[in-house]
Amino acid sequence: MAKIVTNALDLWYGSFQALKDVNASFDEHKITAIIGPSGCGKSTLLRVFNRMNDLIEGVRTSGEVYLDAENILQPHADLVVLRKKVGMVFQRPNPFPLSIYENIVFGQRIHADRLTRAKLDDIVQESLASVLLWDELKDKLRIPALRLSLEQKQRLCIARLIAVKPDILLMDEPCSTLDPQATQRIEELMRELKHNYTIIIVTHNMQQAARVSDDTGFMLLGELIEFGKTQDIFTAPKDKRTEDYITGRYG
């Protein structure tokens, strides 16, 4: 089932066109990887899905992006609701300079009505458990999050999103600062999470895309060149440019 569908999506930064006629469909409870060389528009595409590009001066989009059949590019789309529904994990884990506990409940304090302490405790436990950090951190909830390892910080950032119950997790090169073992464990976590979320991951690591995703889109210079089942993209690409990229002929 498609969770997000883009239709004739174009995006300009001023006069520079960064996305060109992107048509794609992202399935619910699957992991879709977006691959392609640096500067091809991967992060730009991801930021369309929670309207984060709106924060950049001079950005213009055209076309449609349906999330659950609602066009989120409409001027009157509710961005607070959208950004709660569509969470983003960044390249560098960016916990707030607060305790582990306060990081997790931060969104609750913004989005939800006043919750009881017991309810907040539950949310913290559930969210940390879902990223497999609960056992490790349950006795350290009051220590500053900035003291955690990089991997723990990235897990915490995922837990912080999960705490506000999004539908979609956007991940922009979420493992690029992690070592291979931590990367592998985050990939395992993604496979767990996809049962409950729709995940879209940007990566320039093709092995990662091949390992973790169900579907893959290959982008080049703002265009979505090819989109399909990951296995097909990596074993039988239809476009010569995709083949050149996955066989390592581009930078």
Ligand X SMILES: Nc1ncnc2c1ncn2[C@@H]1O[C@H](COP(=O)(O)OP(=O)(O)O)[C@@H](O)[C@H]1O
Q: Which is nearer to ligand X, 13 or 96 (CB)?
A: 13
Q: Which is nearer to Mg ion, 45 or 73 (CB)?
A: 45
Rule CB under 6 A: choose which of 4, 22, 24, 42 binds ligand X: 42
- Asked if 4 touches ligand X (CB under 6 A), the answer is no
- Asked if 44 touches ligand X (CB under 6 A), the answer is yes
Segment interacting with ligand X, rule: CB under 6 A, options 40-48, 120-128, 226-234, 235-243: 40-48
Q: Which residue is nearest to Mg ion (CB)?
A: 43
Q: Which is nearer to Mg ion, 39 or 228 (CB)?
A: 39
Rule CB under 5 A: choose which of 4, 24, 40, 43 binds Mg ion: 43
- Asked if 13 touches ligand X (CB under 6 A), the answer is yes
Minimum gap (Å) between residue 192 Cβ and ligand X? 26
16 binds, among ligand X, Mg ion, none (CB under 5 to 8 A by kind): ligand X
d(CA 182, CA 166): 24
Q: Could you write out the DSSP letters of every residue in 45-57?
A: HHHHTTTGGGGST
Rounded to 5 degrees, φ, ψ at 42 are -60, -50
Q: Which is nearer to Mg ion, 22 or 133 (CB)?
A: 22
d(CA 164, CA 142): 20
Q: Which is nearer to ligand X, 92 or 138 (CB)?
A: 92
- Asked if 61 touches ligand X (CB under 6 A), the answer is no
Query: Which residues have a Cβ under 8 Å from the Cβ of 81 and sit 6 or more positions away?
Result: none
- Asked if 178 touches ligand X (CB under 6 A), the answer is no
Note the residues at the interface with ligand X (CB under 6 A).
Answer: 13, 16, 18, 36, 38-44, 56
